[in-house]
Amino acid sequence: MLCQVPVVHLDPIFWNQEWVRTPTKMAQEIVRQHADQETWVIDGNQWVPLKDITYPRATDIIWIDPPFHVWLYRLLSRAIYKSFTIRGSLYRDFLNPKTSIIVQAYRLRKKKMENWNRMMSNDNRWQRQALEWLRAVDAFHSENLRSVQVLFAPSMAAHLEDITSWDTSLIARGGQGWAGAAEPTPSKIWHAARMRAFEFVALQVPYNVSKPNTMTTPAPAVHIDPARIIDEVDPRIYSGFTEHMGRCIYGGLYDPDNQHGLVDPMTGFRTDVIDALRELNIPLVRYPGGNFVSSYRWQGASFQNHGIGPKELRPRRPELAWLTEESNQFGTDEFIQWCRTLGTEPYICLNMGSGTLEDALAWVEYCNSSANTYWANLRRKNGHEEAYNVKYWSLGNEVWGPWQGNYFPSPSTLAPSRSLPSVGQMESQDYAKKAYQWAKALKLLDPNIKLISCGETGFSDWDRVTLRKLAPVVDFHSVHLYTVSEGKHAVNVMGPAAAEKGLEITRALIDLAKIEGGLCKELTVCFDEWNVWDPVRAPGEKGAEEHYDLSDALAVAAWLNVFVRKADIVKIACIAQSVNVISPIITSPTGLFRQTTYYPLHLFANLMQGTSLDVFVSAPSPSTFYTGPTVPKFVQDLTKHTPDAAKLTKYVDVSAVLSRDGREIRVALLNRHEEESFVVPIWFAGGSGSAGVEEEVRVYEVWSENLRDGNTFGEERVRSVERVVRFEGSYEIKRHSFQVLVFKLKEEE
């Protein structure tokens, strides 16, 4: 009994005596049997697996936030039960203050109360959240449903005083009755009158099931046809980038002096970093820059050892990009060995700043030649008999930028720039002539290499000029772009729309260059620097160590959706960077943690492989797309003058793939709206919502209550959570959330 109402305890149903979870179908069958009893209660924690069973039978539904002594009693009983059934649980889960679920629950309660204080003061946010819940109820209502109620403890009363805008709502306290409405009738789920013994504050919303739900604005719908393919998703779009900048190399992936058992003593590589990056299935890693490369002599001036040869002979040199000292303890051989350890391909950027064509040819010879020549023999002398066969080489880094050799906020961050002396900056025509000569010579030395030209944003005149000249001799055109938030979530998550529009322009510039040159060849985009980066929040000269929050994770998901949708033109994309510097992982001498941005990257790299499908998302009303300020501004301008169905700023942002075995459709579903959830119909191949797919769907979700939640050492508030749901044609996507839905296709009979 709880509040004099009979209760079916769900813990013994969903967990066996060894505290191992009962299979969902078995638990559902047990609940079906109990559902025929006179009175029963749903535990909110089990709402997802039980909603299809319980909602159709419900007469009254209550959203309840119980007072301290109610939930504490239940928590204590669970902890005591566990302590006597599982060895070691008594101390771990009950007595140890660091791991006790009682202490953790109390802290969580305190945190929730603080969040409520912020939420209640935010422009009627509580009403919007309650409406979201009511929409979910509406999707599963039964003909017997008489009322929907929201109950809160007295501590919430102050926050409910101003709820006056609902014509159908009322406030009741204690024994004061239900002013203006009939007394609630007893419920098979809860007896509302009993709850007044605990002096609940109650908001009652009379619910008329004979009328359509008028509180829900038209939701966007997702249309997926497996026959409408774009192209194969190239795994290289999930590539990485390491630069001699901040703590990316030293103290990041390479830390030979670490005293905490985290390095391989033979190589000095951080093993925990390698393990974390392996989970991302990184196919390609760019090196050594970045701005760093424009003054980097890989072999040293006058052929003196810098980044190769015995480490004790490698000199320390001033480093001009970030105005630090370079120890040269990590160089070409170490980078390629690190790549082999990680299981990824090396991608080297050539120095077109202070470097010469002779330097570039020597670098390719050192890495790739099997001949009896000077640089190949020097590689052998340094202990590496077999050629490395480095396939990917880029012709300089951001040669168009005056910051080469000196850092300042780059136009590629969509932020204002300022002039400083540069190392190697050139005008577009000059670069194109020089890069053409380099490309011809490099291909003569090794015809098997793939060359990447140095592009800008993909939508600049630099891109037009360089593509026109270099299209015959290169295999990829590089594009760089970073998005900034300016502290605003909408600006953050809508920023990647600039890349999407930019890629359409880049495609046209490539086509124009091929048409004018009479070329018939594959030439695609290498988007080898992209990320969320605010140079004011994380200055480059201070190591650019961004600490990301949930909003940033959602922006990364928006970026990756763009790359999947543009699978026919984007074949390589390198997140900048892979360790510590604007990175998905942050290290310390004693460990690391995965940033919020790690989890969408992990889901895409592991799930969004296969054939990219042409997804259409409807925009049935202005409330389903964003029209506010953007960075860059042209995204907002385009939105105003683009038909609704083609807008790049829809709140629901989607990409989809058909798995390589053809058995699954995987849908990356992003809700960019800060406040609103959407119940989104998902249509397959023009049929009804669930036609052609199995009902059971695996969901991987990245979400947190607070958009500003981030991760740190010992506490990861934002991560991916896996669950299984039943799909009946639509899916409710929470506000500010990202998820990947894995649908199994039905086998043809």
Q: If you write DSSP's letter for every residue of 86-103 in order, what string do you get?
A: STTHIIIIII-TTT-HHH
Which pair of tokens denotes residue 618? 């409807």
Residue among 313, 355, 309 at smallest CA distance from 332: 309
pLDDT reading at 108 higher than 80: no
Q: What is the DSSP letter of 44?
A: G
**722 burial class (0-12, 13-18, 19+ CB within 10 angstroms)?**
exposed
- Mean pLDDT lowest for which of 267-281, 454-468, 633-647? 633-647
State mean pLDDT over 448-470: 97
pLDDT reading at 216 higher than 80: no
- Local confidence band at 642 (pLDDT 50, 70, 90 cut-offs): confident
- Local confidence band at 321 (pLDDT 50, 70, 90 cut-offs): confident
Q: What is the chain's alpha carbon radius of gyration, rounded to the nearest angstrom?
A: 29
- Mean pLDDT lowest for which of 275-289, 355-369, 391-405, 566-580? 391-405
State mean pLDDT over 87-96: 61
> Could you check whether the bond before residue 290 is cis, i.e. omega within 30 degrees of 0?
yes
Instruction: Please report the DSSP string for 401-422 in residue order.
Output: -TTTTS----GGGTS-------
Report yes or no: 239 and 575 within 8 Å, Cβ to Cβ: yes
- Mean pLDDT lowest for which of 154-163, 290-299, 440-449, 467-476? 154-163
Contacts (Cβ under 8 Å, ≥6 apart) of 25? none
State mean pLDDT over 355-369: 97
Contacts (Cβ under 8 Å, ≥6 apart) of 662? 745
pLDDT of amino acid 207: 32
Strand partners, 589: none
pLDDT of amino acid 524: 98
**212 burial class (0-12, 13-18, 19+ CB within 10 angstroms)?**
exposed
pLDDT of amino acid 600: 99
- Local confidence band at 564 (pLDDT 50, 70, 90 cut-offs): very high
Question: How many CA within 13 A on the CB side of residue 149?
Answer: 30
Instruction: Please report the DSSP string for 486-522 in residue order.
Output: TT-HHHHHHTHHHHHHHHHHHHHHHHHHHHHHT--S-
- Mean pLDDT lowest for which of 183-187, 247-251, 414-418, 444-448? 183-187
- Local confidence band at 75 (pLDDT 50, 70, 90 cut-offs): low
State mean pLDDT over 295-307: 71
Report yes or no: 402 and 412 within 8 Å, Cβ to Cβ: no
Calculate the CA 472 to chain-centre distance.
36
pLDDT of amino acid 570: 98
Say how many C-beta atoms besides its own lie within 10 A of residue 468's C-beta. Answer: 16
Sheet with 570-575: list strands edge to edge. Answer: 240-241, 284-287, 345-349, 392-394, 450-453, 476-483, 524-532, 570-575
- Predicted confidence (pLDDT) per residue in 229-265, tens digit: 999 999 999 999 999 999 999 999 999 999 999 999 9
- Local confidence band at 306 (pLDDT 50, 70, 90 cut-offs): confident
SS3 of 630-682: the string is CCCHHHHHHHHCCCHHHCCCECEEEEEEECCCCCEEEEEEEECCCCCCEEEEE
Find tokens 């890495």 and name the residue.
Answer: 367
pLDDT reading at 178 higher than 50: no
- Local confidence band at 645 (pLDDT 50, 70, 90 cut-offs): confident
Superfamily of chain region 222-228+613-744: Golgi alpha-mannosidase II (2.60.40.1180)
Distance, CA of 632 to CA of 233 (rounded, Å): 27
State mean pLDDT over 116-133: 50
What percent of the residues of the chain are helix, what percent strand, and what percent coil, each to the nearest 5?
35, 20, 45
pLDDT of amino acid 586: 97
State mean pLDDT over 29-55: 56
- Mean pLDDT lowest for which of 180-184, 328-332, 333-337? 180-184
**190 burial class (0-12, 13-18, 19+ CB within 10 angstroms)?**
buried
- Confirm whether 398 is a catalytic residue: yes
Phi, psi (rounded to 5 degrees) for 422: -125, 165
- Predicted confidence (pLDDT) per residue in 681-698, tens digit: 999 875 545 568 999 999
pLDDT reading at 159 higher than 60: no
Say how many C-beta atoms besides its own lie within 10 A of residue 281's C-beta. Answer: 16
Instruction: Sketch the domain layout of the chain as residue ranges.
Output: 11-206, 222-228+613-744, 229-612
Alpha helices of 545-632 — where are they, by DSSP H? 550-565, 598-607
Q: What is the DSSP letter of 448?
A: T
pLDDT of amino acid 36: 53
- For domain 229-612, say whether CATH 3.30.70.141 is its number: no
pLDDT reading at 1 higher than 60: no
State mean pLDDT over 702-712: 95
- Mean pLDDT lowest for which of 49-58, 61-70, 409-418, 592-601? 409-418
pLDDT reading at 193 higher than 60: no
Residue among 523, 693, 687, 664 at smallest CA distance from 606: 664
Phi, psi (rounded to 5 degrees) for 482: -120, 145
pLDDT of amino acid 646: 81
Mean pLDDT of the chain: 79
pLDDT of amino acid 472: 98
Say how many C-beta atoms besides its own lie within 10 A of residue 472's C-beta. Answer: 15
- Confirm whether 728 is a catalytic residue: no
pLDDT reading at 579 higher than 80: yes
Given the residues 132, 456, 529, 664, select the one marked as catalytic.
Answer: 529
Report yes or no: 233 and 570 within 8 Å, Cβ to Cβ: no
pLDDT reading at 110 higher than 90: no
Distance, CA of 44 to CA of 62 (rounded, Å): 10
pLDDT reading at 34 higher than 80: no
Distance, CA of 703 to CA of 726 (rounded, Å): 20
Given the residues 319, 398, 456, 500, select the one marked as catalytic.
Answer: 398
- Mean pLDDT lowest for which of 137-141, 174-178, 388-392? 174-178
- Predicted confidence (pLDDT) per residue in 406-433, tens digit: 444 444 444 433 344 456 689 999 999 9
Q: What percent of the chain has pLDDT over 90?
A: 55
State mean pLDDT over 518-543: 90
* 632 or 1, higher pLDDT: 632
- Local confidence band at 74 (pLDDT 50, 70, 90 cut-offs): low
- Local confidence band at 617 (pLDDT 50, 70, 90 cut-offs): very high
**310 burial class (0-12, 13-18, 19+ CB within 10 angstroms)?**
exposed
What pTM was computed for the model? 0.72
Highest mean pLDDT among 138-142, 200-204, 226-230: 226-230
Distance, CA of 599 to CA of 483 (rounded, Å): 19
